[in-house]
Amino acid sequence: MNIYEYQGKALLRSFGVPVPHGYPAGDVNEARAAAAKLPGPLYMVKSQIRAGGRGIGRFKELRPDAMGGVRIASSPEEVGEHAAEMLGNTLVTAQTGPGGEPVNRLYIEEGVEIDRELYLSAVVDPESGQVAFVVSTDGGADIEKVARETPRKILTVAVDPLSGVLPQQGRSIAGMLGLGGDQAVQAASLIPKLYAAFIAKDMALLELNPLIVSKSGELQCLDAKIGFDPHALRRHPDIVALESNA
């Protein structure tokens, strides 16, 4: 079972993971007010559904040339206009199936100027039971397509549960992401935090697509898709509460 992006980002933030500032909003006024609390000058209006591919998704009720489920705005007023167009409508993406998913909540987030989009996820290797990081410099795009067409661009690093993430593994993942200097240092500090969150919450999937390098040189998680093994949830009433929050 997946949780929403805004819930996943709040969870990651509590583990010290860098994510942009943002606020969930359930109506147009809330969306405008959320934007007014952000520094600007760019704002993202992001549909909260439990599926990816939102940016290039389409709203059933809108004209086919209308913008998708993740939009950029340059003022709180414009955020309100997008919110009015998106809320209550049905977003169809490659991951929702043809029926789509209703958008009843938006996440209003600081717009970050992106230098590079990377891919980083953590999964449980079904054979070894170990957590493995899956890494690619081809972020933002459709990772399944990358896996199909250029599998050599996807690398994995397995973590021994007894030792946790070794410093050398953090450095090696940074290298796989093509990061050097200060960004490599940021990546090496990010990886153990992601691992700690993954283990503490019994995650089944933690996917950051994209993890980005901003124009100002900061590593940030711009998207977060988090899934849980339903069998592990008995131990995590906090996660069950998130999941039942429709």
Q: Which is nearer to Mg ion, 93 or 209 (CB)?
A: 209
* Other beta carbons less than 10 A from residue 41's beta carbon: 9
Q: Which does 175 bind (CB under 5 to 8 A by kind): Mg ion, ligand ADP, none?
A: none
Catalytic residue among 5, 109, 110, 207: 207
User: How many binding residues for Mg ion (CB under 5 A)?
Assistant: 2
The pair of structure tokens assigned to 18 is: 């860098």
Contact residues toward ligand ADP (CB under 6 A) are: 20, 44, 52-55, 70, 109-112, 114, 117, 140, 209-210, 222-223
- Any catalytic annotation for residue 85? no
Q: Which residues does 82 contact at the CB level (< 8 Å), separation at least 6?
A: 31, 45, 67, 71, 73
Residue 174 or 212 with smaller CB distance to ligand ADP: 212
48 binds Mg ion (CB under 5 A): no
> What binding mask, one character per residue, do residues 183-212 give for Mg ion by CB under 5 A, x or -?
--------------------------x---
6: buried, middle or exposed (CB in 10 Å: 19+, 13-18, 0-12)? buried
Out of Mg ion, ligand ADP, none, what residue 169 binds, judged by CB under 5 to 8 A for its kind, is: none
Question: Is 113 one of the annotated active-site residues of the chain?
Answer: no
For residue 217, the number of C-alpha atoms closer than 13 Å in the C-beta half-sphere is: 6
Distances (CA, A) of 14 to 92, 222, 244: 31, 16, 20
Q: Which residue number, 109 or 223, has a Cβ lying nearer to Mg ion?
A: 223
In the set 43, 107, 119, 195, the catalytic residue is 119
Non-local (6+) Cβ contacts of 83 within 8 A are 25, 27, 28, 31, 32, 45, 106
Q: Are 178 and 1 in contact (CB under 8 A)?
A: no
* DSSP single-letter state for residue 2: B
Nearer to ligand ADP, 169 or 209 (CB): 209
Q: Of ligand ADP, Mg ion, none, which one does residue 54 interact with (CB within 5 to 8 Å by kind)? A: ligand ADP
Q: Figure out which of the listed residues 6, 223, 224, 228 binds Mg ion, where binding follows CB under 5 A.
A: 223
Please state the closest distance from residue 55 (CB atom) to ligand ADP, in A.
Answer: 3
| Helix ranges, the chain (H) | 5-14, 28-36, 76-86, 143-149, 167-176, 181-200, 237-244
Residue number, 81 or 218, with CB nearest to ligand ADP: 218
The residues assigned a catalytic role are 119, 207
List contacts with Mg ion (CB under 5 A): 209, 223
